[in-house]
Chain A
Amino acid sequence: MIDEVQTVKNIASEKDAIGDFRFPERHKFDAGYGLTSKTVDYISDVKDDPDWVRAFRHKALAAFEEMPMPTHWATKDLESIDFDKIRYYLASGEAPKRSWDDVPEDVKRTFERLGIPEQERKFLAGVEAQYDSEAAYSNVKQAVTDQGVIFVNSTEGLKQHEDVFRKWFGKVIPTRDNKFSALNSAVFSGGSFIYVPPGVKVKHPLQAYFRINSENFGQFERTLIIVDEGAEVMYMEGCTAPKFETSTLHSAVVELVAMKDAKIQYVTVQNWSSNVFNLVTKRGVAHENAEIRWIDCNIGSRLTMKYPGVVMKGRKARGEVISIALANTGQHQDTGAKMIHAADETTSNVISKSISIGEGRSTYRGQVHIPKHLKGCKNNTECDALLINSSSRTDTYPAITVRGNDHATQHEASVSQVSQDQIFYMKQRGLSEAEAMSLSVNGFINDLVREFPMEYSVELKRLIDLEMEGSVG
């Protein structure tokens, strides 16, 4: 046992091995290339969808086809996605296993290399490990199940817990929210469904890991988390893909519902390879005195567009986005936050830090909305950018619409550089250029890293070190 753990560690200490490996494909179900209503029917057939889901998918497909690419505000690079060269559903046809021993060898080895079973043993209350379109492994600790917590994949969720599922599904993020939420709604598979009953505080985090193994593929998981009155949960997600020659698409939709006095923390550590288009829609609704925190770290990908949001619907609800984005050469991190105040005395906080290295590009887009009829709302927005060399680019678009004069908002932005003097000083103490850069970057995001659970902050630091090594040496 001990030997096995060590192997995982050793492999993970080399950059290429983190996510850049793959196994041959062996899919029983393959929706083929391109997206038509036949593709949607294929997915619905394979998954044995109830009629309402099939109808939902078709309606979404129509919306996707009709909606334009948002290139009037977003990057033109979106146009390089060729929707005809993507496969929309790839699955083995096997139900997720409850024990790692039952998981097929290649899939098991994949997740072992990524350290998932080890993390599960150490600190998780439950894990769902998705491989291409479907979960290969899914397990929750008995103690958590005994508390009445439901943690399953979206297919099981919509079939076995239709009441709760249907009530909220597509309500936080309507199909037509944006072109990619429509796309996800048409072809979604995998992702988690979580329900936490009133008053239950899940002690350890629940985790999902999204792994892409196949080329020319799109992953479209769908996650819905409902935390009932006074309940609390922390959910963590990680993701990787091998480095393919062609581009890969990842387009998820994540909806959160925090009922009165509930708390949700949603933690993401994303480490996509550099040709993944990562176009994700994430939003939560916070009812009275509830709290939703998005803690987000975006490393890698060719283009990430992600603006986690919180709709503060009940009095005294709180929303928070803490995000770190690292854009290396050839990457564009277009991230931000959406804070919609819809009740009195609601509070939102956005702290975003971006690091641009080489020709990497970072964009911050914020939207804070406080309507006139509300009283006593607060927003704090801070966005800081760190440039590692002069060709890096960073843009900030903070749209703060505050109507009425009974609110307190605060906005700060800064752009800084790692100076040559700093690098020289650190080198004089014996640190290599890459180590010096890593240290400066870690210093820059230090206060945010503390917001991540310990186990993830260690991982995060390691990922950043590797990015710096790759960009300097």
Chain B
Amino acid sequence: MEAQTQSQQMKLEIKDLHARIDGQEILKGLSLDIPKGEVHAIMGPNGSGKSTLSKVLAGHDDYEVTGGEVLMDGVNLLEMPADERSRAGLFMAFQYPVEIPGVSNANFIRAALQARLPNGEELDAVDFYKALYAKMDELEIDRKFTARSVNEGYSGGEKKRNEILQMAMLEPFYCVLDETDSGLDIDALKIVAKGVNAMRSPYRGFLVITHYQRLLDYIEPDHVHVMVNGRIVRSGGKGLALELEEKGYDWVRDELAVTA
């Protein structure tokens, strides 16, 4: 029985979430459960609030949560500052990764790992580089990127791949990927998908935001959700993505109009 309650809690639980920015409500009562071990995909038209959802989950200060709650393995996520959420195991791959001039990729990832260690404990440099190089090789990222400043001057695809590298190094429990596939060429897409798939495990949940069903051919989702105007309006299996691709969002909107 106890084991069951525990497993019940092992999920990212979004309940009736409302959030706004600059007085404008963007999330309008969004609910979604992402248990560990599952991959959930969200699709939805431009401006429907997908990036807003990921930033609210990650704890961006510009957004005001006006209602609902988010629990991560039973713990209230919304009370934690952004850095604490990250250290507690939440990772977000940015739709638009940010450049940090002068800070090398290696130093950045190292600082992020160091921030997870108890006070006084030092990250072992040799182990760190070993792990970093292994992940870079897997993601086919040239080793010269260790010395390059974080995202500075990277191509769109390189930036996205770099997000996945950080994710692989930080080993989070919940991963939110915001349009990681946009800007990737077909080979890069396969490599990134391989990287993500390698991380799939019963101990990790994924929320994958995408516009393209193609990504879902490589990263097979357990569930697909459609987000329109700040809410999840439809959920289904992998087939839902195919259906969407075929019929477009108007199909969901029309259906909504009918049921309303």
Contacts of A442 in B (CB 8 A): 102-103
Give the shortest distance, in Å, between A444 (CB) and chain B (any CB): 5
Range of interface residues on B (Cβ < 8 Å): 20 to 34
Contacts of B166 in A (CB 8 A): 429
Q: Is the CB of A435 within 8 A of B115?
A: yes
Q: Is the CB of A433 within 8 A of B111?
A: no
Q: Is B157 an interface residue (CB 8 A)?
A: no
Q: Is the CB of A428 within 8 A of B92?
A: yes
**A354-382 toward B: CB 8 Å interface, digit per residue (1/0)?**
00000000000000000000000000000
Q: Is the CB of A439 within 8 A of B82?
A: no
Contacts of A436 in B (CB 8 A): 83
Give the shortest distance, in Å, between B173 (CB) and chain A (any CB): 13
Give the shortest distance, in Å, between B70 (CB) and chain A (any CB): 15
Q: How far is the CA of A442 from the CA of B61 in the complex (A)?
A: 24
Secondary structure type dominating chain A contacts = helix
Q: Is the CB of A444 within 8 A of B92?
A: no
Give the shortest distance, in Å, between A207 (CB) and chain B (any CB): 27
Q: How far is the CA of A142 from the CA of B175 in the complex (A)?
A: 62
Contacts of A427 in B (CB 8 A): 59, 81-83, 86
Interface residue ranges of B62-112 to A (CB < 8 Å): 62, 81-83, 86-87, 91-92, 94, 97-103, 107-109, 111-112
Give the shortest distance, in Å, between B174 (CB) and chain A (any CB): 13
Pick the residue among B61, B94, B102, B112 that contacts A431 (CB under 8 A).
B112
Q: How far is the CA of A347 from the CA of B80 in the complex (A)?
A: 54
Q: Is the CB of A439 within 8 A of B100?
A: yes
Q: How far is the CA of A436 from the CA of B114 in the complex (A)?
A: 13
Pick the residue among B61, B102, B170 that contacts A444 (CB under 8 A).
B102
Q: Is B60 an interface residue (CB 8 A)?
A: yes
Contacts of B59 in A (CB 8 A): 427-428
Pick the residue among B83, B91, B103, B149 that contacts A432 (CB under 8 A).
B83
Q: Is the CB of A424 within 8 A of B60?
A: yes
Give the shortest distance, in Å, between B110 (CB) and chain A (any CB): 10
Q: Is A68 an interface residue (CB 8 A)?
A: no
* Residue of B81, B91, B100, B108 contacting most chain A CB atoms (<10 Å): B100
Q: Is the CB of A443 within 8 A of B82?
A: no
Q: Is A146 an interface residue (CB 8 A)?
A: no
Q: Is A421 an interface residue (CB 8 A)?
A: yes
Q: Is B58 an interface residue (CB 8 A)?
A: yes
**CB closest chain-A residue, reference B92:** A428
**A436-468 toward B: CB 8 Å interface, digit per residue (1/0)?**
100110111111000000000000000000000
Q: Is the CB of A426 within 8 A of B102?
A: no
Contacts of B62 in A (CB 8 A): 420
**CB closest chain-A residue, reference B87:** A430
Q: How far is the CA of A424 from the CA of B61 in the complex (A)?
A: 8
Q: How far is the CA of A439 from the CA of B115 in the complex (A)?
A: 12
Contacts of A431 in B (CB 8 A): 83, 111-112, 115
**CB closest chain-B residue, reference A424:** B60
Give the shortest distance, in Å, between A427 (CB) and chain B (any CB): 4
Q: Is B253 an interface residue (CB 8 A)?
A: no
**CB closest chain-A residue, reference B102:** A443
| Given known contacts A422-B100, A430-B86, A431-B83, A443 and B149 CB-to-CB distance under 8 angstroms | yes
Pick the residue among B58, B103, B112 that contacts A443 (CB under 8 A).
B103
**B36-70 toward A: CB 8 Å interface, digit per residue (1/0)?**
00000000000000000000001111100000000
Q: Is the CB of B100 within 8 A of A443?
A: yes
Q: How far is the CA of A425 from the CA of B58 in the complex (A)?
A: 10
Q: How far is the CA of A436 from the CA of B81 in the complex (A)?
A: 14
**A92-119 toward B: CB 8 Å interface, digit per residue (1/0)?**
0000000000000000000000000000
* 11 A-B pairs (CB sep. < 8 Å): A422-B99, A428-B94, A429-B166, A430-B116, A431-B111, A432-B83, A433-B83, A439-B103, A440-B102, A443-B101, A447-B102
A432-B115, A443-B149, A444-B101 given; 17 more Cβ-contact pairs under 8 Å: A420-B61, A420-B62, A422-B98, A424-B60, A424-B82, A425-B100, A427-B59, A428-B91, A428-B94, A429-B109, A430-B116, A431-B83, A433-B83, A439-B103, A443-B100, A446-B102, A446-B103
